[in-house]
Structure 1
Amino acid sequence: MAGLKYDKVRFMVSPGSTVRITLENVDEMMHNMLIVKPETRVSVVKAAETMGERGVEHDFIPKSSNVLESTPLLGPGGQASILFKVPDKETVYPYVCTYPAHGMVMYGAIYATRSPDDLPPLDEDPNIPEQVRNQMAASMSLHPYPRDMPTLTRLFMPESSPAAIAVGMEKEQSYNWDAGYSFLRYVWDGGYIDVANQWDGKAHEVAKIKGDIYYRNTTGFPFRVSHQDSVPQHEFQGYRMIDGYPRFKYDMGDITVSELILPAQTTPGFRIEYVLENVDQPIWYALSDNDEIRVEVSKGTIEGDMVKLTPDQAQEFTISIISEE
């Protein structure tokens, strides 16, 4: 967070879930964050403005039933978290900074929804600040990357071999899959890529990520065959599009792996659906070391930093990775 804006102007949650939201003030001014009831942002901001001199000692949080959760005022370098129990109703919950003169420009929206495809495009979203909508509209007109998701682009990506594949998913999630090494490199939240230079005769340039990386592969090729120290030789065999998403295929010896990466229901987060053919030995799957990440497996058992699967379990399983920041 810097200037009169939050670094994320909207995000999605599942109705009935509980989410932790951490606010870190990297600005030179004081800020807070209030989550308020639908369509009450302006009234809460006006109530905070009437607090006058006594506002600071109360963190400019007005006494109002419209305020659902809040952080205190944070000075430069300050940090605070909110645990928000999302009601079961599908709706939009605004969040806002109520420090004087901030509330009319510094706000965002929590979409509690079971239908993420129904979100409006960022440049048309009435629940985020107008200046952000205008910036998005200008960016889209200047940088011709695809707006419709999912989408796929083969180009040079940071921290990757020349065979990188960028995939923009729904729910503002994107990832980089390295076909040169047959594994996922990293996943980010908040946008896709700025590839304007790809249309300017500079195809050798490295693309810029639009958003924040929250997951990095720290283990390399994740599979082990027979025992947890045995990394198999592997070879990329291409991909096939499934409803707009690539299903990657690669061999590791006699075993054929199909890998499909999709956004998780709770974001930021994603899931990897694996199908393995010709498995007759135990399979180990190495988990990467990332802070504030929750890992869930559909089959097998987690033993330390590995998932152990029997040959039967390894034929079809899912790894889900959810950011808890």
Structure 2
Amino acid sequence: MKKLAAITALAVFATFASAQDAEVAAIELKPHASNPLGYDKTDLSVKAGQKVKLTLNNTGSIAPQPHNFILIKPGKDQAVGAQANAMMTDPQAMAKSYIPDASKEDIIANTKLVMPNATETIEFTAPAEAGDYPFMCTFPGHWLLMKGVMHVTK
């Protein structure tokens, strides 16, 4: 009887673990094939509080260059973009992956600067509040064109 209870408990745990794994939103972003200053996807959708596994795959662009991914609080994209532009005169900007220090409280998740023909995967939890969250690349000059929206739904 104890053996049966243990097997049943393991089966329930395995089912629960599989359900949790299925709840992870796996997203891959690349530079747009014909527009090196754009992502291949500009609209992403996840559920509020969902685990997200995002891979920035910096391959396939006609003009290879570094890129990053920064997910930002709603309404903060212009401020973060302006601060990213200001980093062009910062000698430490590359080491900081062009992620503005002044915007840390406005950034929900980010990759480091990903060089051409490289990838980086990050994992984070989607915001608990539904809404449209902007994302962008903050390498100099990119944020005006290389951007999109992560739609967080209930």
* 1:35 equivalent in structure 2: 71
Q: Do structure 1's residue 5 and structure 2's residue 38 form an aligned pair?
A: yes
* 1:178 equivalent in structure 2: none
Gaps of 5+ in 1: 115-325
For residue 70 of structure 2, what is the amino acid of its counterpart? L
Equivalent-residue separation in structure 1 for 2:57 and 2:127 (angstroms)? 25
Q: Would you identify which runs of 4 or more consecutive aligned residues in structure 1 move more than 3 Å?
A: none
Contact 1:45 / 1:98 at 8 angstroms: preserved in 2?
yes
* 2:99 equivalent in structure 1: 61
TM-score normalised to the size of structure 2?
0.70
* Structure showing the higher strand proportion among its residues: 1
* 1:82 equivalent in structure 2: 122
Equivalent-residue separation in structure 1 for 2:151 and 2:122 (angstroms)? 16
Which residue of 125, 134, 139 corresponds with 1:99? 139
Contact 1:42 / 1:104 at 8 angstroms: preserved in 2?
no
Three-state SS of the structure 1 residue aligned to 2:92 is helix
* 1:17 equivalent in structure 2: 50
- The structure that has the greater radius of gyration is 1
How far is 1:54 from its partner? Answer: 2.3
Give the % identical residues. 31
Equivalent-residue separation in structure 2 for 1:74 and 1:12 (angstroms)? 23
Per-residue CA deviation, residues 232-258 of structure 1 (Å, 9 max, x unaligned), is xxxxxxxxxxxxxxxxxxxxxxxxxxx
* Structure showing the higher helix proportion among its residues: 2
Equivalent-residue separation in structure 2 for 1:109 and 1:82 (angstroms)? 17
TM-score normalised to the size of structure 1?
0.34
Contact 1:48 / 1:55 at 8 angstroms: preserved in 2?
no
For residue 108 of structure 1, what is the amino acid of its counterpart? G
Three-state SS of the structure 2 residue aligned to 1:50 is helix
RMSD: 1.1
How far is 1:56 from its partner? Answer: 1.0
Report how many aligned residue pairs link the two structures: 114
Gaps of 5+ in 2: 1-30
Equivalent-residue separation in structure 2 for 1:109 and 1:40 (angstroms)? 12
